[in-house]
Amino acid sequence: MGEIKVVTNILNSNNKLTAQNRKLLDEKGIYVINLMSSPGSGKTSILEKVILKLKNDLRMAVIEGDLYTTKDAERIEAQGIPVVQINTGGACHLDGNMIKNALESLNLDEIDILIIENVGNLVCPAEFDIGEDMKITVLSTAEGNDKPLKYPLMFEKSGAVILNKIDLIEYTNFSREEFYNDIKSINANAAVFETSCVKDQGIEELCVWLKSQIKLKS
């Protein structure tokens, strides 16, 4: 029973901090995306492409979550937008307190959209809200189409699912039919986008949709 109480206390504490973060971000009119995936899905590459297409129309900022390195943050910084690095020191997800501290390093009056790139993991990040308006999950064709059923919570909570590295699908045994059937059974309301960062495929459609979501909030 003690272990259950500890887990419950952690989640309750995170929820309180998340509520504070969300209140602050809503007051500033900032749309927040929690970008999640397993390691190697290509979510940083997608983020780079999205920034390139949106940064002239929207004021953007990024919070980068990683276990130890700053490599992804350095890639995003090269895009010319504000970025804050969070190193979790081994923790498999970002939480409300980490985001609270990161927000103190950003000028929230100069941001329209904040994208939080979570730690690469298909389990823990789904459990912790961090004040986002929407969760988006990235899955690459190289990972296999079985992931939605193996990690249903991640896909159930996502407002959108991005199937990335679509240019590699012919070299894998990835089944589009099974993937779409599984997503529909888990989360029929999720928007699904197929992308290839190498061929710049699907990025424009994704960005148009993101703009529409931001407009709905405003």
pLDDT digits (tens, 9 = 90+) for 68-93: 667 788 898 899 999 999 988 777 88
pLDDT band at 9 (very low <50, low <70, confident <90, very high): low
Question: Nearest 5 degrees, angle CA 123-CA 197-CA 159?
Answer: 40
- Residue 8 has a pLDDT of 52
Residue 188 has pLDDT above 80, yes or no: yes
Domain span at 22:
2-217
What's the structural domain count of the chain? Answer: 1
Burial per residue of 64-95, b for 16 or more beta-carbon CB atoms within 10 angstroms, e otherwise: bbbeeeeebbeebeebebbbbbbbbeeebbbb
- Residue 68 has a pLDDT of 65
Q: Which residue has the higher pLDDT, 125 or 208?
A: 208
Residue 4 has pLDDT above 50, yes or no: no
The CATH number of the domain holding residue 179 is 3.40.50.300
| 120 SS3 class | coil
- Residue 114 has a pLDDT of 98
Burial per residue of 114-134, b for 16 or more beta-carbon CB atoms within 10 angstroms, e otherwise: bbbbbbbbbebbbbbbbbbbb
> Is the full-model pTM beyond 0.75?
yes
Residue 135 has pLDDT above 90, yes or no: yes
Residue 10 has pLDDT above 60, yes or no: no
Are 78 and 45 within 8 A, CB to CB?
A: no
pLDDT digits (tens, 9 = 90+) for 25-39: 999 999 999 999 999
